[in-house]
Amino acid sequence: MLEFLKKNKYPIIIIFIIGLFAYSVKLFTYSISIDTEILIYTPEKILDSWIAIGRWALVGTKQLFHFIPINIYLTNIFTFLIFFISIIFWFINFDKLFKKDNKFAKTVFGLIIITAPIFAEQFYFSLQSVEVAIAFLEIAVAVYFQEKWITENKIWAIFPTIILVTLSFGCYQAFIPLYISICVFDYIVKYNEKVDIKRILKYLLIFILSFGINIIIDKIFKNVNQISDSGYLFSQIAWGTERKINTIQKIALAIKDTFLGNGIHETIAYGVIFILMTLVVSNKIKFKENKFFYLVYIFFFVISPFITVIIKGTPEVVRARFATPFVTGFAFYYVLINQENKEILNMAKIVAIYTIIVQTVITFLLFYSDYQRYCEDVNIANKISEDLEKLDITKPIYIMNSFNSQNLLLKGDGLGESFFIHDSNSEIGCTGRAIKFMKILGNDKINRISAEQVPEARKELEEKILNEEIDLKAYPEEGYIIELDDYIIVNF
């Protein structure tokens, strides 16, 4: 191991330093993200909800390592370090998969992964970030044992492979397309110009057994805890709920956006690197029939991150798309290792460096903007708490409308989302989130309105406005808080 670390010291040091910069705001400041307030205030509620959606391994890992109550600083540090170690473990896998070493290719792969804004969105959710990072390490170690079984015919290695893959599936369902992408990539690397049915069947065996065991354990967890399936995942399936052409258009748009780098979370690297990978294959494979099969495998590799999108018929949330940066990193590694044409090689290097710079800046800005959001949320919560002290705070509080910050440098999918806007479309608006957040900050005397009470409160408010008994203002103007007979209204 010491020899391995010494051999790869420069890629490891570079990835750590740049990764540390990208995550510096997350690591060295304190902030509470959406959903983390639930883990802090009512941990049993969030654990039950995870079991209900099939994330039994996430719950098991959290309980096994006593990650409740949560320590934000330690959670963020452990998340970064474990994720970093999982990337380094891929270097061990690359040494087994490829006969030649390329430190530049390793550095590019590691930086593509650690700076990806998609992982910033995933690790923004501190309540589950350590467990997800552990699952990334599990999938990397699983590939190590998988190679021992498939390539070296060591039968015992199938058992740790299945255990680790099952644990990753049970932690977060987005690991399923990632594992498929990994297997397709492994097959492309090992492809020797003829179809290897035996190897494909071994991939399928591991996948089917891991997926099946995951379902069995999931049902056991639900039965033991007396929790029914939430239907959360099935509710996302769009097929049959709208016209097929609309569903197909959504899928095509999601794939197109990734290829063209539309949005802040991805760059055009995904589309460019697969063009370069195709050129590498065209130069490497001599015979037409073999070239055809190779290009088919590349097509499946390109599409593999979108398997759940195709199955559900609707785009994934950003934080669940982490197969995309991995596939991008794999493709860069493949091209940099195999390309002999200097023009294509130089183009790949330029695109890689550009992608890493852009991703690093965006990830840093996303974390910095979210820290701005947190500071702003704290100021708003303290201001509201201070103003509520003048009133009868035993009355249920209804926070009406939502707060839109104009001060953020960059707004992500979850990053930058204020507690005073999240869930604003629900029956009680952002009230539930905001009140829990205010309680965490120390105002534990306040209580939120219920969904059943909202129509009554709104009706009373409207009557008083019509009768000119009150002049309702919006935060932070004087009069943004109104005390009614039975309720208190906070208006944004």
pLDDT tens digits, one per residue of 13-44: 999 999 999 999 999 999 999 989 889 988 89
Does a structural domain hold residue 351?
Answer: no
Q: Cα separation of 393 and 488, whole Å?
A: 8
Cα–Cα nearest to 481, from 412, 408, 404, 383: 383
Please indicate, yes or no, whether residues 467 and 393 belong to a single structural domain of this protein: yes
Does a structural domain hold residue 178?
Answer: yes
Domains contained in the chain, number: 2
Please indicate, yes or no, whether residues 256 and 175 belong to a single structural domain of this protein: yes
Please indicate, yes or no, whether residues 168 and 273 belong to a single structural domain of this protein: yes
Does a structural domain hold residue 155?
Answer: yes
Cα–Cα nearest to 319, from 63, 104, 132: 132
Please indicate, yes or no, whether residues 150 and 272 belong to a single structural domain of this protein: yes
Structural domain including 475 reads 377-491
Instruction: Say what the pTM is.
Output: 0.93
- Picking from 311, 340, 369, the residue at the C-terminal end of a domain is 340
Task: Summarize the confidence of residues 123-136 as an average pLDDT.
Answer: 96
Please indicate, yes or no, whether residues 189 and 309 belong to a single structural domain of this protein: yes
Please indicate, yes or no, whether residues 290 and 420 belong to a single structural domain of this protein: no
Please indicate, yes or no, whether residues 46 and 184 belong to a single structural domain of this protein: yes
- pLDDT per residue over 274-314, tens digit each? 888 887 766 665 555 566 777 788 889 999 999 988 888 88
Please indicate, yes or no, whether residues 398 and 311 belong to a single structural domain of this protein: no
Please indicate, yes or no, whether residues 441 and 302 belong to a single structural domain of this protein: no
Are 118 and 415 in contact by the 8 Å Cβ rule? The answer is: no
Please indicate, yes or no, whether residues 206 and 111 belong to a single structural domain of this protein: yes
Please indicate, yes or no, whether residues 322 and 412 belong to a single structural domain of this protein: no
Q: Is the pLDDT of residue 179 over 80?
A: yes
Does a structural domain hold residue 268?
Answer: yes
Residue 85: pLDDT band (50, 70, 90) is very high
- Picking from 283, 314, 340, the residue at the C-terminal end of a domain is 340
Are 142 and 171 in contact by the 8 Å Cβ rule? The answer is: no
Task: Summarize the confidence of residues 170-174 as an average pLDDT.
Answer: 94
- Picking from 291, 318, 340, the residue at the C-terminal end of a domain is 340
Cα–Cα nearest to 31, from 76, 81, 80: 76
Q: What pLDDT score does 284 carry?
A: 62
Does a structural domain hold residue 365?
Answer: no
Q: What pLDDT score does 233 carry?
A: 63
Please indicate, yes or no, whether residues 137 and 281 belong to a single structural domain of this protein: yes
